[in-house]
Amino acid sequence: EPEVTQTPSHQVTQMGQEVILRCVPISNHLYFYWYRQILGQKVEFLVSFYNNEISEKSEIFDDQFSVERPDGSNFTLKIRSTKLEDSAMYFCASSDYSNEQFFGPGTRLTVL
């Protein structure tokens, strides 16, 4: 069964460093999403991406964040200068026209 994959499973970085979280969505999907979950809190929407551009983003998704689909398979989330409060589990999701979102297992980001 096709699935969304994410790498790495755990990323540890120093405050102020740049990180790139990678996702491989399901191959025939067209809509891509990033969510995050700070420990003990709700899963929060960050951004949606369709047709090579951002279609919707939340207040969390400020200038420190960017997304890219650099080739036909990967979908990345970049955080330019990480802060302590960026520590969270980051989930990638993808969907086709049915809009049923399939989620990856997540990347745990720890900022020290």
| Chain contacts with another protein (rule: CB under 8 A) | 4, 31, 33, 35, 41-45, 48, 50, 55-56, 58, 91, 93, 95, 99-106
**At closest approach, how far in Å is the CB of 55 from another protein?**
4
Q: Residue 83: how many CB atoms within 10 A of its CB?
A: 11
Judged by beta carbon, residue 81 or residue 110, the one nearer another protein is 110
DSSP string, 39-67: TTS-EEEEEEEETTEEEEE-TT--TTEEE
**At closest approach, how far in Å is the CB of 58 from another protein?**
8
The β-bridge partners of 54 are 49
Angle made by CA atoms 22, 23, 29, in degrees to the nearest 5? 150
Judged by beta carbon, residue 19 or residue 36, the one nearer another protein is 36
**At closest approach, how far in Å is the CB of 103 from another protein?**
4
